Amino acid sequence: MKQLIFVLFIAAGFGTRAQPPSLVCGPMLCHISHREATIWLEVSPDVNSVEVKCWKKNEPASARIFTQTGLLHQDYNPVKVILTNLDMATEYEYEIDLDHKKQSFNFPLTFKTKQVWEYRMPPPEFSFIFGSCAYINDPPYDRPGKPYGRDPRIFDSIANNPSDFMIWNGDNMYTREADFTSKTGFYYRYTHDRSIPEMKKLLASRPNYAVWDDHDYGPNDAGASFELKAISLQAFKDFWGNPGYGEPDHSGVYTHFAWSDCDFFLTDDRYYRSDEKLDSLSADKHFFGREQLSWLENNLLDSKASFKFIVIGSQTLNPLNRFECLRHYRQEYDELIGFIVKYKITGVIFLTGDRHYSDIIRITPDGGYPLYDITSSAFTSGSYPETKQTPEGTNPYRVVPDMVFDQNYIRIEITGSKSGERMANITCYTVDGKVPWTYTIRQQDLK
């Protein structure tokens, strides 16, 4: 009898789980390279096989079939299908087959592999979207009172705004008290949020990359001491498709990918993070941790990219930030900024989230060039306009007209065909498609 009750409970958790073998959420495009592409999806416990049939656009006769990696018949079944031996610079179409039955979608399933442009042509222009703080309401687990999550239509707005890929900049979901105490809780929260209708088209429309911050890592402000961090890390690996996760002998979500002539360093600001309340000058207060910081520094030193985007869940440069910020970890902050100055690392831009508002600030370190911290927040979580009444409201380091507290995201377009003259054109969009501000950073100014 107890077994029957448990089965009925699981089936009731999501409507799709009570149905015949089915797709729970996805597909989501993940990392795409010259010869491979990763597709993520989650299926119901009754599914026996997951296949992706893939062919060159308008050439269905060239179709090949790829099968899933990952276990099936579990309570939660996130799987990845890796498409291999693809041709470069080629557009592909694909379909999802569950138990050999084609799944239907009201949007196209396509992707394009990367091209080799080096030594052949100017670096291609491209664009990407990034943002943070996606709170999806779930009344049984939410706090009483006014719902904290705002309009999920923003994901439709993003889906309809073309870009080459998307970066989820942390707090990509909000674990509740019932979530961050168990593996079941983490997997429930990922599945719940990925299953909303507004998310579907966006996830399939372009490659998705991610870092985390405290709310998708665990409790508010959680760091290295979080007891379930290994479970949280495994959930992140199961529900995202980044090109890597840490290093072979050092766990974490940090990794790197390149797009055209730009490098993106996805960092982990949680797994090794000391408590914010420790003395900021303490040598024992870590943000990245020694190994990750060395990884980042060496990658920056090796990079020849026009722009080097360092992606961090928390803000980096803001001197007026009273909350979580790399600047409060003075040993690592001073080392990283000093490293950039000492070795003349050009083109560095920080992409950050967390703050429930969007902003751009500029700091010029002694002996260096202007460094920018571009903060994009929030997708759907609540905002705190009263921040305008604090010193941050008139931040002298701000380079845009104002902080944006409406639901929003940022799109960055990299343009310019001449080497050394690339530009990062930054546009902030609200949920309704309005543009509060734009800003341009020139490559030649970051040296």
DSSP codes joined into one string, 347-393? SEEEEE--SSSBEEEEE--TTS--EEEEE---SSS---GGGGGSGGG
- Please report, in tens digits, the pLDDT of each residue of the chain (447 residues total): 444 434 333 444 444 444 567 999 999 999 999 999 999 999 999 999 999 999 999 999 999 999 987 889 999 999 999 999 999 999 999 999 999 999 999 999 999 999 999 999 999 999 999 999 999 999 999 999 999 999 999 999 999 999 999 999 999 999 999 999 999 999 999 999 999 999 999 999 999 999 999 999 999 999 999 999 999 999 999 999 999 999 999 999 999 999 999 999 999 999 999 999 999 899 999 999 999 999 999 999 999 999 999 999 999 999 999 999 999 999 999 999 999 999 999 999 999 999 999 999 999 999 999 999 999 999 999 999 999 999 999 999 999 999 999 999 999 999 998 888 999 999 999 999 999 999 999 999 999
CB atoms within 10 A of CB 5: 9
- Report CA 175 to chain centroid distance, whole Å: 16
What are the chain's domains? 2-112 (2.60.40.10), 126-445 (3.60.21.70)
DSSP result, 157-213: HHHTS--SEEEEES-SS---TTTTTSHHHHHHHHHHHHTSHHHHHHHHHS-EEEE--
Rounded distance between C-alpha atoms, residue 133 and residue 321, angstroms:
17
DSSP characters for 65-86?
EEE-BS--SSSSEEEEEEE-SP
Closest CA to 351 of 121, 185, 128: 128
Q: Is 236 helix (H, G, I), strand (E, B) or coil?
A: helix
* Separation of first and last alpha carbons in the chain: 69
Strands of 174-330 (E only): list them.
208-211, 255-259, 262-266, 307-312
* Length of the chain (residues): 447
Element counts in the chain: helices (H) and strands (E): 8, 20
Is residue 152 within 8 A of residue 194, CB to CB? The reply is: no
8 Å CB contact between 156 and 198: yes
Q: Which of 198, 215, 294, 201 is nearest to 254 (CA)?
A: 294
92: its two tokens: 């592909």
Closest CA to 149 of 136, 160, 162, 139: 136
